[in-house]
Amino acid sequence: MTGLAAIDEKRLETFAAPFSGTLLRPGDDRYEEARRIHNGVINKHPALIARCAGAADVTSAIKFAGAHQLLTAVRGGGHSLSGQSVCDGGLTIDLSPMAGIRIDAIARTARIEPGVLLGQFDREAQAFGLATTAGTISHTGAAGLTLGGGFGRIGRKYGLACDNLTAVDLVTADGRFVKASAADNPDLFWGLRGGGGNFGVATSFEYRLHSVGPTLFGGALVYPFAGARELLRSFADFEAHAPDELYVDVLLPTTPDQQRVVLLDVCYCGPLADGERAVAPLRNLGKPLHDGLGPVPYVELQRSGDAGNPHGRGYYIKSGYLHGMPREVIDVTVDYLERSPLDTSVIAFAHLGGAISRVRPGATAYWHRAATRDVVVIGFWDEHSGAERSTQWVRGIWTRLEPLTTGFYVNTGIADDTQHRIHAAYGDNYPRLAALKKRYDPVNLFRLNANIKPA
Ligand SMILES: Cc1cc2nc3c(=O)[nH]c(=O)nc-3n(C[C@H](O)[C@H](O)[C@H](O)COP(=O)(O)OP(=O)(O)OC[C@H]3O[C@@H](n4cnc5c(N)ncnc54)[C@H](O)[C@@H]3O)c2cc1C
Q: What is the DSSP string of 234-262?
A: HHHHHHTT--TTEEEEEEE-B-TTS-BEE
- pLDDT reading at 138 higher than 90: yes
Mean pLDDT to the nearest integer, 218-239:
97
Residue minimizing CA distance to atom 1 of ligand 1 = 309
Of 203, 199, 190, 136, nearest to 163 by C-alpha is: 190
How far apart are alpha carbons 438 and 441 in whole angstroms?
6
Distance 197 CA to ligand 1 centre (A): 10
List, for residues 375-403, the tens digit of each pLDDT value.
999 999 998 888 999 999 999 999 999 99
| Mean per-residue pLDDT, 212-227 | 97
Verify whether ligand 1 is closer than 6 Å to residue 147 (CB atom): yes
Q: pLDDT-based confidence at 327, cuts 50/70/90?
A: very high
**3-state SS assignment for residue 192:** helix
56 vs 412, which has greater pLDDT?
56
83 lines ligand 1 (CB under 6 A): no
State yes or no: pLDDT of 71 exceeds 60.
yes
The CA radius of gyration of the chain, in Å to the nearest whole number, is 22
Pocket lining: 202 vs ligand 1, CB cutoff 6 Å: yes
| Residue 191 Cβ < 6 Å to ligand 1 | no
The whole-number average pLDDT for the span 350-373 is: 98
Q: Tell me phi and psi for residue 35, to 5 degrees.
A: -85, -10
Give the nearest ligand 1 atom to 315 CA.
53
What pairing do the DSSP bridges indicate for beta strands 72-75 and 91-94? parallel
Nearest CA owner, ligand 1 atom 23: 144
- Mutating to test ligand 1, I would choose from 85, 164, 192 the residue with most ligand atoms within 8 A of its C-beta, which is 85
pLDDT at 384: 83
**Cis, peptide link before residue 214, omega less than 30° from 0:** yes
Residues 1, 328: Cα–Cα separation, whole Å: 45
Q: Which of 92-106, 161-175, 227-241, 339-353 has the lowest mean pLDDT?
A: 339-353
Q: Measure the CA–CA gap between 93 and 305, rounded to whole angstroms.
A: 28
So what's the pLDDT on residue 1? 53
Q: In Å, how far from its chain's centre is CA 127?
A: 24
Mean pLDDT of all residues belonging to the chain:
95
What is d(CA 358, CA 348) in angstroms, rounded to the nearest whole number? 24
Does residue 223 contact residue 262 with C-beta atoms inside 8 Å?
yes
- What pLDDT sits at residue 185? 98
Cβ 77 under 6 angstroms from ligand 1: yes
Report whether residue 95 contacts ligand 1, using a CB cutoff of 6 Å. yes
- Which of 79, 165, 351 has most ligand 1 atoms within 8 Å of CB, for mutation? 79
Average pLDDT over residues 246-261: 94
pLDDT at 417: 66
- Which is the closest atom of ligand 1 to the Cα of 76? 30
- Ligand 1: residue of 59, 140, 203 to mutate (most ligand atoms within 8 A of CB) is 140
Q: Which amino acid is at 451?
A: N
Q: What is the mean pLDDT of residues 276-281?
A: 98
Ligand 1 contact, 411 CB (< 6 A): yes
pLDDT at 2 over 60: no
Under DSSP, is residue 426 helix (H, G, I), strand (E, B) or coil?
A: helix
Q: What is the pLDDT of residue 414?
A: 66
User: Could you read off the pLDDT of 89-137 as tens digits, one per residue?
Assistant: 999 999 999 999 999 999 999 999 999 999 999 999 999 999 999 999 9
Which pLDDT belongs to residue 415? 58
Q: What is the pLDDT of residue 368?
A: 98
Nearest to 213 by CA among 308, 290, 126: 126
Which protein residue has the closest C-alpha to ligand 1 atom 4?
137
Please name the residue ranges forming H helices in 325-429. Answer: 327-338, 387-401, 419-426
For the CA of 84, the nearest atom of ligand 1: 49
Q: Ligand 1 centroid vs 411 CA: distance in angstroms?
A: 6
Give, using CA atoms, the residue closest to atom 28 of ligand 1.
78
DSSP E strands, 332-372? 345-351
Beta bridge partners of 318: 377
Residue 229 near residue 254, CB atoms below 8 Å? no
**pLDDT at residue 416, as a whole number:** 63
Q: How far is the CA of 92 from the centre of ligand 1 (A)?
A: 15
**Ligand 1 binding pocket includes 72 (Cβ within 6 Å):** no
Q: How does residue 420 score in pLDDT terms, banded at 50, 70 and 90?
A: confident
pLDDT at 158: 98
d(CA 252, CA 267): 18
**Predicted local distance difference test score (pLDDT) of residue 5:** 62
